[in-house]
Structure 1
Amino acid sequence: MKASDLLVKCLEAEGVEYIFGIPGEENIDVMDSLSRSSIRFVLTRHEQGAAFMADVYGRLTGKPGVCLATLGPGASNLVTGVANAHLDRSPLIAITGQAERTRLHKESHQNVDTIQLFEGITKYDRQILDARTIPEIVRKAFDLATAESAGAVHLQLPEDVAKDDAPGAPLPIGKQARAVPGADSLQAAAGLIAAARRPIILAGNGVIRGRAWNELRKLVDMSNLPLVNTFMAKGLLPFEHPRNLFTVGGRPYPEGLRPLHEADLIVAVGFDLVEYDPVVWNADGSRQVLNVHSIQAETDAHFPVALDLVGDLSDTLSALSDCVKRRPNPKAHDRVQKLRLEELSSVPHPQEELPRKVMRTLSETLPKETIVISDVGLHKVWVSRWYQPKEPGRTIIYNGLASMGASLPGAVASRLAEPGSPVVVVSGDGGFLMNVQELETARRLGAGFTVVLFTDGRYSLIEKHQRDAGLAVTEIAFSNPDFELLARSFGAAYRRVETPEAFEAALREAVDSGELNVLEVALKRPPAEPAG
């Protein structure tokens, strides 16, 4: 068989359902092989959109999302989406074409070293130079993309290799044993918790990746420990849970609202340092860390690990729950919770009234299975702090590379990964226009979702930082198109609101329709960043 046929058979054996991308001259053999396979190729309008789709597909399914591009500009257009998946630890496989081997050594049309281009943003970056190696390379790529911590992989297939004869077959997928720390380590961890005066759990993205939220809830209920979650781990405890101290990340809250600062032991569970720099909440390094993760802790002066409890997260949390003793109600943290609840229901700045009430409406109105995807900008802070999901693993917030423009493509992938779940995008006018062309992809696929689009004609978060630094506010304003004409030209329904009351009615109509919707929320003036 042809090498491209063998490649596709290996992808089928790995359970690949979709490949997102744009074909090119150098991968037409791969496209021909895909046309005879069970894999559905999703044609996108930009390679960056394809990578963002693969990223979100991987987050939701736990299986690598796959994206495809040609050589040169096609490959370079994937880079931002691949880097986004890599820093957010989403399993992704990027496959690119390349010129034939006889011209790789010299200057030639569209030939750049894309292996070097992807080197710093992938776990595995390999050019396929011999068709016989395809089964081994593909099997290794999928293993590495999904192994903790998950991440991105890049495979490159030159056009002449794709045409070669390729004996062989996909390799079998073996099962991996789930490791758990030994009894001595578990008892030592329980001892650290018992000896601490004010321990607190800091739960991160690893809990979502490992689908370990039930076991984490068991640990909280058995130990009576308070819990905070990062932006990427929202919904781990029900809103009304007595030990829920809500979300931390970004700039710290004002004094009195900082639960990590009230602690002397941080029980970091599935926490990746990229989510919230420890220097923000442990500047003096006085708070010890019990690191519970599937991988060894990163070395950081402000993340002093007293004990590294490494193993399968679900099994480790369950075993630790059986070792801990229940602690008395944490009065210091109860005080923080009371103040945090008061802050959530307040409107400290008039400019925050509309966005706060929009987030409250989303929290109260959306069905529990709704997937909410935030783009990047000031609204990301609003979603992170004020939106309260009803279930874990249903909120996607980009917080590693934190690329603008990822949410709209991500919504397309969400509808394919979970066709029965409503999807709502929260975006600003800056990020929305970066990949707005994927509205056509959504319409073509029949992927209905709602974009809640905050518009104010500026990069508001940058403006806020300029003001806080005492600098001139400059180069942050822009003009917008008529969003009604834009939405309707792509076949999307359009609504525009300026008040919380109008938003609630419009949101219900949009989500209930099951169609592709753009719901513009017009901000009359630049809103302030939340206090703190």
Structure 2
Amino acid sequence: MTHDHDLVLRPTDAQTRAALAPPPGRTGGDLVAETLRGLGATTVFGLPGQHALALFDAVGRSDLRLVPLRVENNAGFAADAYGRVTGEAAPLLLSTGPGALTALPALAEAAAASAPVLAISSQVPTAGLGGARRGHLHELRDQAASFREVVKSVHVARTPSQIPSAVAAAWQSALTAPHGPVWVEIPEDVLRAETVIPQVTGVDATPPELVPRPELTALAAHWLQEAARPVIVAGGGVVRADAAGKLKQLAERLNAPVVTTFGGKGAFPWQHPLSLQSWLEDRHMTDFLEDADVLLVVGSGLGELSSNYHTFFPAGRVVQIEADLGKLESNHPALGIHADARLALQALLETVGERPDPDAPARVAKVLAEIRARIDAQDLALEQSLLASVRAALPPRSPSFWDMTILSYWAWSAFDARHPNTMHSAQGAGGLGYAFPAALGACVAEPGTPVLAVSGDGGAMYSIAELATARQHDLDVTWLIVDDGGYGILREYATEAFGRATATELARPDFTALADSFGVPAATTTPETLTADLKAALAAPGPSVLVLNATLRMFAPTHL
């Protein structure tokens, strides 16, 4: 009889020879690079700094592709997008103190959006740790404490021999459902130290599967099959779990209407007869969801935006499938199923039977018509035409990245993403400057595929330096900047709340001239020419910028 603890992986002859004769001059930085390669990484993002030079030197001598950006936070956004698009852990290399802290907003977005980012930071030499204040450059009393409440897990290596295990544990954590950012910290002297530790040739960091409990899925299947008016809310967890196909199967078997959250865009076909699309910030949709006698929520915590600013109060039973235990029943009582969305949907498909409901498509059409009538009663033709122009120009499989700007707020509700995992925004944490550097990360992930970034003029200024990155690496990104002379959405919010807006008007550069100074082709577009201009820009190799001078408005709020 063989027990698990009897199964020992024995080294191959090649591994034994490599262990006995490691290349000379290897350092702790090499152990990081070797471990990343052993785990399957091919690409790393980041910025060098004084304490991290040994790490970057090792990466430069490896076959890892290093994509350096100009600002640490932007490098974090690029890694975030790489992780979202590929489903792989995206290494982000940072230096100590200011360099590391500058990436905090990006890691907060990755945490909110469940993007697997593996941040690896240097630290002051070990003699300056443990409370000692030796005056090292970039010294922090407890650097890891700044990240502990943001990332999923913190891992520290204080000797070279600890590096492979720390990096592997972090990798596994980042890719364990729910995905998320993790933090590894290694002192400068440990990264620089020469090591006789053999080359890292075998690393196992396979994440465990988060399997649903069968008694819970059995009860959920019974409720759904017997329901009179079931509805499904599909969140970002469906996209991350690559479960859109299983969601469609289940919805069609149950004849259950499906609404996708803003993070779940593309999880269900937009034009499907059962598609409620994404109009979550609309009282008609809120009423429809409240009328459901069984609401199946998959991969969403029903947070502020998904609940129409917490004005949604379900009247029927709620079944919530969620990989993040902290989000399970965090907003509404439910039959909580702590599981990966794909595995839970598969369990439901294995249990639930056909549920005929010929009236379901008509009920979907009715609520969408009510929403359409409300939008049409407002003077919002420009905003809708711009979204239609973007959709017409963007290839169906091309990823798009949207900053916190008015056109993006429209896109959350009204843009047809066409396919899962093709529309991404910063609505997880809501920070500015996400779209363009994130789009660069997607370009690296999918070379040869045109990628679109959409920003306002305010958000664009956060990441303007990355035009140099786009040009240096000839990335196929088109950046659409909607210039309204300020923070447009804040202007609207402030005026509505206080009767005036303060600090929302901005001086800004001539974006086309600025892009041209970086060697990036740029032009001004108009609402009438946007489709043609976008098509041309997206079809051209390398980076490009389009500037649209337009002042947009949001549709009237319906959560009041």
TM-score, with structure 2 as normaliser: 0.88
Structure 2 residue aligned with 1:391: 419
Q: Is the 8 A contact 1:370 1:421 kept in 2?
A: yes
Q: In the TM superposition, what are the counterparts of 1:56-95 in structure 2 within 5 Å?
A: 56-95=81-120
CA distance in 2, matches of 1:314, 1:84: 23
Post-superposition Cα deviations, 1:463-489, rounded to whole Å, max 9, x if no partner, equal 222233244322211122112201211
- Seen in structure 2, the aligned counterparts of structure 1 residues 107 and 287 have a Cα distance that, compared at 3 Å, is farther
Is 1:173 matched up with 2:204?
Answer: yes
Structure 2 residue aligned with 1:219: 250
Structure 2 residue aligned with 1:413: 441
Post-superposition Cα deviations, 1:217-258, rounded to whole Å, max 9, x if no partner, equal 111111110000011111122222100001144xx3144675
- Seen in structure 2, the aligned counterparts of structure 1 residues 174 and 6 have a Cα distance that, compared at 3 Å, is closer
Structure 1 residue aligned with 2:537: 510
CA distance in 1, matches of 2:248, 2:474: 37
Instruction: Give the Å deviation of 1:278.
Output: 4.3
Equivalent AA in structure 1 for residue 54 of structure 2 = D
2:327 is paired with a residue of what secondary structure? coil
1:415 is paired with a residue of what secondary structure? helix
Q: Is the 8 A contact 1:282 1:302 kept in 2?
A: no
Structure 2 residue aligned with 1:469: 497
Structure 1 residue aligned with 2:177: 148
Aligned counterpart for 2:553 among listed residues 515, 527, 532: 527
Name whichever of 111-120 and 191-200 sits farther off. 191-200
Instruction: Give the Å deviation of 1:10.
Output: 0.5
Name whichever of 296-305 and 194-203 sits farther off. 296-305
Structure 2 residue aligned with 1:47: 72
1:244 is paired with a residue of what secondary structure? coil
- Seen in structure 2, the aligned counterparts of structure 1 residues 451 and 195 have a Cα distance that, compared at 3 Å, is same
Post-superposition Cα deviations, 1:113-146, rounded to whole Å, max 9, x if no partner, equal 3211111111112332121111111110000011
Q: In the TM superposition, what are the counterparts of 1:83-482 in structure 2 within 5 Å?
A: 83-104=108-129, 105-108=132-135, 109-112=137-140, 113-166=142-195, 167-170=197-200, 171-173=202-204, 175=206, 178=209, 180-181=211-212, 183-249=214-280, 252-255=281-284, 258-274=287-303, 276=305, 278=307, 280=309, 283-284=312-313, 286-296=315-325, 298=327, 300=329, 302-305=331-334, 307-329=335-357, 331=359, 334-340=362-368, 343=371, 347-350=376-379, 352-482=380-510
- Give the unaligned 5+ runs of structure 1: none
1:400 is paired with a residue of what secondary structure? coil
Equivalent AA in structure 2 for residue 512 of structure 1 = A
Q: Is the 8 A contact 2:256 2:360 kept in 1?
A: no
Q: How many residues align?
A: 526
Instruction: Give the Å deviation of 1:342.
Output: 6.7
Q: Is the 8 A contact 2:392 2:531 kept in 1?
A: no
Post-superposition Cα deviations, 1:248-298, rounded to whole Å, max 9, x if no partner, equal 44xx31446753233232201111344746484665453431012345463
Instruction: Give the Å deviation of 1:444.
Output: 0.4
CA distance in 2, matches of 1:497, 1:256: 35
1:121 is paired with a residue of what secondary structure? coil
1:268 is paired with a residue of what secondary structure? strand
Q: Is the 8 A contact 1:73 1:110 kept in 2?
A: yes
CA distance in 2, matches of 1:296, 1:330: 36
CA distance in 2, matches of 1:288, 1:438: 48
- Seen in structure 2, the aligned counterparts of structure 1 residues 509 and 258 have a Cα distance that, compared at 3 Å, is farther
Instruction: Give the Å deviation of 1:505.
Output: 1.6
CA distance in 1, matches of 2:208, 2:92: 29
1:35 is paired with a residue of what secondary structure? helix
1:240 is paired with a residue of what secondary structure? coil
Structure 1 residue aligned with 2:19: none
1:246 is paired with a residue of what secondary structure? coil
Q: Is the 8 A contact 1:48 1:80 kept in 2?
A: yes
Instruction: Give the Å deviation of 1:308.
Output: 2.5
CA distance in 1, matches of 2:525, 2:171: 45
Post-superposition Cα deviations, 1:314-359, rounded to whole Å, max 9, x if no partner, equal 2331231232233343747734534425745964433x32221111
Structure 2 residue aligned with 1:497: 525
CA distance in 1, matches of 2:467, 2:378: 34
- Seen in structure 2, the aligned counterparts of structure 1 residues 341 and 13 have a Cα distance that, compared at 3 Å, is farther
CA distance in 1, matches of 2:514, 2:358: 53
Q: Is the 8 A contact 1:245 1:259 kept in 2?
A: no
Instruction: Give the Å deviation of 1:94.
Output: 1.0
Instruction: Give the Å deviation of 1:172.
Output: 2.6
Structure 1 residue aligned with 2:5: none
CA distance in 2, matches of 1:285, 1:301: 14
TM-score, with structure 1 as normaliser: 0.92
CA distance in 2, matches of 1:330, 1:280: 32
Taking only aligned residues, the RMSD between alpha carbons, in angstroms, comes to: 2.4
* Structure 1 residue runs of 4 or more that deviate by more than 6 Å after TM superposition: none
CA distance in 1, matches of 2:134, 2:308: 46
Q: Is the 8 A contact 1:282 1:303 kept in 2?
A: no
Instruction: Give the Å deviation of 1:75.
Output: 1.0
Post-superposition Cα deviations, 1:479-514, rounded to whole Å, max 9, x if no partner, equal 221122012112222222233x21122112111223
Instruction: Give the Å deviation of 1:156.
Output: 1.4
- Seen in structure 2, the aligned counterparts of structure 1 residues 280 and 238 have a Cα distance that, compared at 3 Å, is same
Post-superposition Cα deviations, 1:429-476, rounded to whole Å, max 9, x if no partner, equal 111111111011011001021112111012121122223324432221
- Give the unaligned 5+ runs of structure 2: 1-25
Q: Is the 8 A contact 2:290 2:313 kept in 1?
A: no
Q: Identical aligned pairs, as a percentage?
A: 28
Name whichever of 40-49 and 105-114 sits farther off. 105-114
CA distance in 1, matches of 2:118, 2:299: 23
2:133 is paired with a residue of what secondary structure? coil
Equivalent AA in structure 2 for residue 253 of structure 1 = D
CA distance in 1, matches of 2:296, 2:328: 16
CA distance in 2, matches of 1:98, 1:183: 46
